[in-house]
Chains A and B, each alone.
Chain A
């Protein structure tokens, strides 16, 4: 028999508080634990992936527009930062708002023709976008540096942060930056989704005809969400470029693979859930890390280790199989699964209207 909690009761707030504490404990770890630069780098990567998936979730999860091309926006973000910093001498921090604007415009430009497309066709066009982005980067080489890309990106921690100047300080500063942008993005998405605009988005997702009859401006909603989604993913690209210290067209995250990874993270976490992308990014990154190390593990039986000798891609295969399995068990992702399981133990009932 599940425990029943009334919404807004002290016990309910306690439960919520515990959840926030758990997230804060993981996210704020560098503040009270001594982490190596490479550990900080891993956390930064997770925050970057989470932000990229957060942008995608706004588009797919809440507005029902499929995109398999967000790697292009991620790449536009990375290149905007790289060009502004190297060619125009900007401070990296100030390129974030500029990138958001650039990616918003690019997103709207893609979103306008996308208005006439639905479902699979939209998936196709965005797929095409992901496909040509690296080719375009190579083509316009006097602008983007072609195949060599743009290197030498470095962001030393500003003096006011009190962080040391070396590699460690840079890694820590980059993590706080990534976390800060992620938190801002999360708040933006959360407030948007819970507002009038958010209800319009969900209405467009569930039944665009009905939404339009109810007075929702479907075209404007879709286009603006496309722009916002691109802006969020683009800012993730900024941090990514800083973390890589360069932007090159060969980087997998700027290709179709990146677009698929963002989509997968969003789905694993839970499409249309607020925390989904963050949880998805964490699980994806750590899971990928774990399976990559499997072939060298000593607990593996000897014969199995011999079998794996010289065979690449084990991590991807395991991951793809788990992804398909997840579609059987919980199409709504880990958050959906947790909610379903959680309901067996705790049920939150809405408070009676005052």
Chain B
């Protein structure tokens, strides 16, 4: 039981990070139907910004907030000046462009800050060896609880924005019917730009959480996490915010359990295989994911 709880707690915080990234993927997918391959790298460079702002003297949490804001603005620019004009030409070109962004941003962080080794990142939560809560014999570290709380707050904010504001209504309208929403006076372009902004801001907070848990920032920190986040979004359904959160948590816990209980067969090395199997099984059995809406195709 103790071991089970331990894997469960560790899985929860890992899953929260997957969920934060998956939320960004879903927000963009709902608006435009694109899979943003650069989502993980945008989160990575945002974490670098948070580290840099903190280095300039901002308090750690304020630095994360300002980094999220910067990411919001930059991502709006990316949508407006790169993705949208290219999207008018061909959807495949957007895939290539977002892979270009992936490559470029991944290379940009070490270039901009002249770093080749991981740089220390101050933890955002209490992180002394004694900072844990003991439940049923297992240690639930306070920083892991903190990450889960952050996911809860973000989910609540997103829920309120989408369900209780006019702008959220517009975003849902564009997601459900992109052709008709301009006819009722919704500025589709603005909605799409803000979707990218929101996705990047949520991703930035996810990136900061990763940096806080690892204790450093590094250009390669989001690579495997991004990949797991795509599996989480597939599991939850690509057009469901609830699905992204649920899928992230379930994948995180499941992956940790499998790796923990089968250290020889799977272990840390083959964790990625769990994501691949999840993607394949979901796509073959229920391609729309657990919470996604079925898409009816017309010939």
A62 vs chain B, min Cβ distance (A)? 13
Q: How many angstroms from the CA of A328 to the CA of B100 in the assembled complex?
A: 12
Contacts of B86 in A (CB 8 A): 324, 327-328, 331
Count, chain A residues at interface, CB 8 A: 42
A205 vs chain B, min Cβ distance (A)? 11
SS class, residues of chain B in contact with chain A: helix
A218 vs chain B, min Cβ distance (A)? 13
Q: How many angstroms from the CA of A121 to the CA of B295 in the assembled complex?
A: 14
On whether the beta carbons of B279 and A125 are closer than 8 Å, the reply is yes
Q: Mark A322-348, 1 if CB is under 8 A from B, else 0.
A: 011001100100000000000000000
On whether the beta carbons of A209 and B299 are closer than 8 Å, the reply is yes
Give residues 6-62 of A contacting B (CB, 8 Å): none
Q: Quick one: closest B residue to A210, CB to CB?
A: B299
On whether the beta carbons of B283 and A321 are closer than 8 Å, the reply is no
Q: Which of B112, B114, B231, B280 contacts A113 (CB 8 A)?
A: B280
On whether the beta carbons of A316 and B283 are closer than 8 Å, the reply is no
Q: Mark B100-117, 1 if CB is under 8 A from A, else 0.
A: 111110111011101010
B133 adjacent to chain A (CB < 8 Å): no
A125-B283, A311-B114 known; A324-B108 Cβ under 8 A: no
Classify chain B: how many residues form its interface, as a range. 35 or more
Contacts of A236 in B (CB 8 A): none
Contacts of A113 in B (CB 8 A): 280, 284
On whether the beta carbons of B85 and A328 are closer than 8 Å, the reply is yes
On whether the beta carbons of B92 and A324 are closer than 8 Å, the reply is no
Give residues 74-112 of B contacting A (CB, 8 Å): 82, 85-86, 89-97, 99-104, 106-108, 110-112
Q: How many angstroms from the CA of A113 to the CA of B282 in the assembled complex?
A: 12
On whether the beta carbons of B95 and A123 are closer than 8 Å, the reply is yes
Q: Quick one: closest B residue to A312, CB to CB?
A: B110
Q: Which of B35, B102, B104, B231 contacts A123 (CB 8 A)?
A: B35
On whether the beta carbons of A313 and B108 are closer than 8 Å, the reply is yes
A128-B275, A324-B82, A327-B96 known; A138-B111 Cβ under 8 A: no
Q: How many angstroms from the CA of A209 to the CA of B298 in the assembled complex?
A: 10
On whether the beta carbons of A139 and B107 are closer than 8 Å, the reply is no
B89 vs chain A, min Cβ distance (A)? 5
Contacts of A129 in B (CB 8 A): 276
On whether the beta carbons of B116 and A121 are closer than 8 Å, the reply is no
Contacts of B101 in A (CB 8 A): 320, 324
SS class, residues of chain A in contact with chain B: helix
A239 vs chain B, min Cβ distance (A)? 25
- From A113, A128, A323, name the one whose CB has the most chain B CB atoms within 10 angstroms: A128
On whether the beta carbons of B96 and A267 are closer than 8 Å, the reply is yes
A125-B283, A127-B227 known; A260-B99 Cβ under 8 A: yes
A66 adjacent to chain B (CB < 8 Å): yes
A252 adjacent to chain B (CB < 8 Å): no
On whether the beta carbons of B280 and A320 are closer than 8 Å, the reply is no
Q: Which of A119, A124, A209, A319 contacts B103 (CB 8 A)?
A: A319
B269 adjacent to chain A (CB < 8 Å): yes
B188 vs chain A, min Cβ distance (A)? 21
On whether the beta carbons of A131 and B270 are closer than 8 Å, the reply is no
A132-B270, A267-B96, A331-B93 known; A121-B287 Cβ under 8 A: yes
On whether the beta carbons of A135 and B272 are closer than 8 Å, the reply is yes
A310 vs chain B, min Cβ distance (A)? 5
On whether the beta carbons of A120 and B103 are closer than 8 Å, the reply is no
Q: Mark A156-174, 1 if CB is under 8 A from B, else 0.
A: 0000000000000000000
A264 adjacent to chain B (CB < 8 Å): yes
Q: How many angstroms from the CA of A79 to the CA of B271 in the assembled complex?
A: 22
A314 adjacent to chain B (CB < 8 Å): yes
B273 adjacent to chain A (CB < 8 Å): yes
Q: How many angstroms from the CA of A316 to the CA of B109 in the assembled complex?
A: 12
A209-B299, A323-B100 known; A128-B269 Cβ under 8 A: no
- From B96, B230, B231, B272, name the one whose CB has the most chain A CB atoms within 10 angstroms: B96
A136 adjacent to chain B (CB < 8 Å): yes
Q: Quick one: closest B residue to A117, CB to CB?
A: B283
On whether the beta carbons of A131 and B99 are closer than 8 Å, the reply is no
A204 adjacent to chain B (CB < 8 Å): no
B234 adjacent to chain A (CB < 8 Å): yes
B171 vs chain A, min Cβ distance (A)? 20
Q: Which 9 A-B pairs have the closest CB atoms?
A: A320-B104, A316-B107, A313-B107, A128-B276, A323-B100, A331-B93, A320-B103, A324-B100, A327-B93
List, sorted by A's number, 23 A–B pairs whose CB atoms are closer than 8 Å: A66-B95, A113-B280, A116-B283, A117-B283, A121-B234, A125-B276, A125-B279, A128-B280, A129-B276, A131-B224, A138-B269, A263-B96, A311-B110, A311-B111, A312-B116, A316-B103, A320-B100, A320-B104, A323-B97, A323-B99, A324-B104, A327-B89, A331-B93
Q: List 18 additional contacts besides A136-B273, A311-B111; criterion CB under 8 Å.
A: A117-B283, A125-B283, A128-B275, A129-B276, A131-B272, A260-B102, A264-B103, A312-B110, A316-B103, A316-B104, A317-B107, A320-B101, A320-B107, A321-B100, A323-B96, A324-B97, A327-B89, A331-B93
